[in-house]
Structure 1
Amino acid sequence: MESLMKNISNINDIPEEYMYDPNFNTKLKTILIGEAIGCEKFYVNIDYVRPGSESVKYHAHSKQEEFYLIMSGEGILRIDGKEILIKKGDVISAPAGKDCGHKFINNSEEILQILDVGTREKDDVITYPDENIVYIKDKKLAFNINDNVKEWSSEPNE
């Protein structure tokens, strides 16, 4: 019965160790629901974004696919370089690929609550186009795209 309890819980019973900013002292609080109950192939989070704040930096994943449900509030979704108004009940997909950059901006007076579900992908590379940064997630390595090596080639017989 003990292993079954890991897979069943109530959102109000998730321990603080599975939360970013559990007391919501900053601009973003996240509850790592999937991690708390043992999800292995995908993650499930609830993000709470304060008015005037952003969910994350504008980014795109090479392998990780994401799904969002706006649970309450309204704001702006920046996706593929466009800004779209979002509200409670909207569902959004962010397929893998660098052309699907995304982030949420809360420009309202109430908390924006987002259900955030995505796949867990080994070797996912995250691109932050606003900053020209590439982040290799598994290795926790960040590189500035502008610091490229000139005259380098992958061709071994040149």
Structure 2
Amino acid sequence: MNNISNINNIPKEYMYDPNFQSKMKTILIGDSIGCEKIYVNLDYIKPGAVSVKYHSHSKQEEFFLVISGEGILRMNGEKILISKGDVISKPAGKDIRHQFINNSSDILQILDIGTREKDDIITYPDENVIYIKDKKQIFNIDNNIKDWTSEPNE
């Protein structure tokens, strides 16, 4: 692994859907050059597709730069129009729900940078799901325990 490269020389092993057969292609730029505390991805989202399921992180901080195209940023229940040059900050621990939607006829290209956080919990509110990433555990919020307390003397 080299700590310097060119975007055009990144091996396919550092790509999700390198031939862009599905609705989204991601290049794991940071992984390919050895980033450890942050990830740096380049996402290509086809017309009519979404980037990821609508979600929020408990600890992870993220930054997005729209490199080309236009679409919608679904954030905390709002739909915000985005286009080339827009930058978006998602500070850590703020429960900011987010998802990119390509409602245009061109590919939406986004630079996605974020921190790698131990014990980050990802919440998917549309599905009432919680995902503990490091442990690869998935829970349905609707299957909660009633009348449970953390009080040891009850």
Alignment match, 2:152: 156
Contact 1:61 1:124 in 2 (8 A): yes
> Which structure features the higher share of helix residues?
1
The sequence identity of aligned pairs, in percent, is 74
| Count of aligned residue pairs for this structure pair | 154
Listed one character per residue, the Cα deviations across residues 82-139 of structure 1 (whole Å, up to 9, x for unaligned) are 0000000000011223630000000000000000000000000000011100000001
Contact 1:60 1:97 in 2 (8 A): no
Contact 1:60 1:96 in 2 (8 A): no
- The alpha carbon displacement at 1:29 in A equals 0.1
Instruction: Output the amino acid matched with 1:136.
Output: I
Please point out which of 42, 54, 58 is paired with 2:38.
Answer: 42
Gaps of 5+ in 2: none
SS in 2 for 1:116: strand
Q: 1: distance between equivalents of 2:115 and 2:93?
A: 13
Q: 2: distance between equivalents of 1:70 and 1:152?
A: 45
Q: 1: distance between equivalents of 2:135 and 2:53?
A: 19
Matched, 1:104 2:100: yes
SS in 1 for 2:134: helix
Contact 2:58 2:95 in 1 (8 A): no
Gaps of 5+ in 1: none
SS in 2 for 1:7: coil
Alignment match, 1:91: 87
Matched, 1:139 2:135: yes
Q: If the length of structure 2 is used for normalisation, what is the TM-score?
A: 0.98
Contact 1:63 1:96 in 2 (8 A): yes
Q: 1: distance between equivalents of 2:90 and 2:99?
A: 10
Q: 2: distance between equivalents of 1:21 and 1:67?
A: 22
SS in 1 for 2:13: helix
Q: If the length of structure 1 is used for normalisation, what is the TM-score?
A: 0.95
